[in-house]
Amino acid sequence: MKLKISTPAKMIYQGEIEKISIPTETGNLKVMDGHPPMVTSVKPGIIKVWPMENHIKVGDEMYVSSSKGMVFIDGKIVRIVSAEATLAPEESESTLLQNKKNFEEKIKRLKTEWSIEEIEKALIKLEKINADIELKRMLQTA
């Protein structure tokens, strides 16, 4: 089964996979070859991928932190389009934690000053930062 993960700016990952676990509003969606066609939304979090190399199972999982997006499945191809996605956060954990704190403070201000749309955008960004922090910690312990 082929997987393509992209953002509006670039292709994040493209290759053959054995299976994938995608965070959705109804829980983690597990997809394997032959999955029935579907389209659903991706919620911010960690996408877990089991890659294959030349159609041979590699065995190690790969992780991608993702913001809100959509997944399109047709049984042979899984295509994930996300506003932001990261294989390995470039920022340090302390920078990510500071960014998280800044967005939490921004959300508090937005609740009294701005529209619901602005609050929603900030919450989505905060959820992506949380996924980056989780991914950074996973990569440090690996």
pLDDT tens per residue across span 83-101: 899 988 878 888 888 888 8
Average the pLDDT over each of 21-30, 44-53, 66-75, 117-126 and give the range with the smallest value.
117-126
Query: What one-character DSSP code corresponds to residue 73?
Result: E
Residue partners of 17: CB distance under 8 A and separation at least 6: 1, 2, 3, 49, 50, 51, 52, 78
Report yes or no: 126 and 103 within 8 Å, Cβ to Cβ.
yes
Residue 52 has pLDDT above 60, yes or no: yes
Task: Note the pTM of the prediction, 2 decimals.
Answer: 0.79
By C-alpha distance, which of 77, 59, 75 is closest to 6?
77
Query: What one-character DSSP code corresponds to residue 110?
Result: H
Report yes or no: 74 and 98 within 8 Å, Cβ to Cβ.
no
Query: What one-character DSSP code corresponds to residue 140?
Result: H
